[in-house]
Amino acid sequence: MSKLQPARGTRDIYGEDARRFQKVIDTFTAVGTSYGFESISTPIFEFTEVFKRPLGETSDVVSKEMYTFEDRGGEEVTLRPELTASICRSFISNGMMQNLPCRFMSWGPAFRYERPQKGRYRQFHQIDAELIGPAEPEADVDVIAMAYRILVTLGFADRVKLNLNTLGDSESREAYRQELVTYFTAYKDQLSEDSQRRLETNPLRILDSKDEADQKLVVDAPRFSDSLNEASVDFFNRVQAGLTAAGVPFDVNERLVRGLDYYCHTAFEFITESLGAQGTVLAGGRYDGLIAQLGGQPTAGIGWAGGIERLAMMLDETPHAPRPVVMVPMGEAATVKAISVAEKLRDAGFTVTSDRSGNMKKRMNRANKAHASFGIIIGDNELENHVAMVKNLDEGTQEEVAFDQIADFIKRANS
């Protein structure tokens, strides 16, 4: 039988990778809580319509990348390709309009069938923040500032650049759409096949094209800023002023767009050169039309998502696992006593493991390899005298300590 391997585009996360992964999640949760966000968890699969309706049947995600299948009950369901649509569906399903504003943070796996590459997998993981309800530009500032604080706390904000743009309101967007149609129609024969189709359905998405011929045409395409009305300009100016007040550095990038119609006003990406060509580590924008498109009441919203794998790769150091205290009981009676002592040490906040096999030398060698701080040795003599032999594995010293004094003894030794 051949050796079993994980499916292509998936991986097992353990050891140092798991500690890096957990560092991102813990930082996200702590910073999100400081901004008033609360946790939400949604199913990893939904009825396909939850994703097909907002993303559009012609989008690459829907047409090429989604894991869609019919379940045993005959329902068409899809493994979520992202978290935002699921959270907005939950907002509608659970009647949360009466609870506005809603500040949600979530993390977990998502699934897209695409070519695996550095930091990108077919099963990947995201942290996700959504602020639903507020329509003022200062809400955009809060959400972006929260993302920036996460990057600062993780220690690599200096290696990440924030690109910022405005997509304007619906009036500005329609005016820009017409400008793009006029411009690209003149070069239709030079466009890629995909962009020729986009010209009919969603011309903004041509600006995102990776095709070299398309990119040459995009250079001279009309700029969104020329189509913005006064209200959209004011909105964007307030976002920029707020970010400056919050101490968040940014660059305005007029080529940063979102092709879907429910996006408006602020669009942003945190990008890096540390991870190769695929440099986006966190991205988001305002989506005031999404909840209505899913069947809810028109409701403003803004949010972002970041790839945990890619953020974890950027950490300068792997977080250390907590150093354990190792119980080393010698004999059956000592083993029972060691269980009791270990639980009391855990009550006191220590990480405790037990090693019950092999001779003393082998056990102490394993304790050192596990980077343990102390070994708690209990044998027949120790049981008789109601003490344990507490060995400081850093200093090589040992001392008899009463069972009920072990926690205090280790705390003093560590102080």
Joined together, the tokens standing for residue 232 give: 């959209």
Burial 399-413 (b: 16+ CB within 10 A, else e): eebebeebbebbeee
**Residue 82 labeled ligand binder:** yes
Polymer length in residues for the chain: 415
- Is position 263 annotated in a ligand binding site? yes
Both tokens of residue 228?
A: 């913005």
Cβ proximity of 379 and 387 under 8 Å: no
* C-alpha pair distances (Å), 18 with each of 214, 257, 313, 318: 40, 34, 11, 9
Query: Does the annotation list 196 as a binding residue?
Result: no
| 286 annotated binding-site participant | no
Extended strands (E) in 244-347: 251-252, 264-271, 280-286, 301-307, 325-329
177 is in an annotated binding site: no
Phi, psi of 286 (to 5 degrees): -85, 135
SS3 121: coil
The annotation status of 84 as a binding-site residue, yes or no, is yes
User: What is the rounded radius of gyration, in angstroms, for the C-alpha atoms of the chain?
Assistant: 28
Pair 142, 238: CB distance under 8 Å: no
Does the annotation place 112 within a ligand binding site?
yes
- Residue numbers belonging to the annotated binding site for L-histidine: 82-84, 112, 126, 130, 258, 262-263
Annotated binding site: 82-84, 112, 126, 130, 258, 262-263
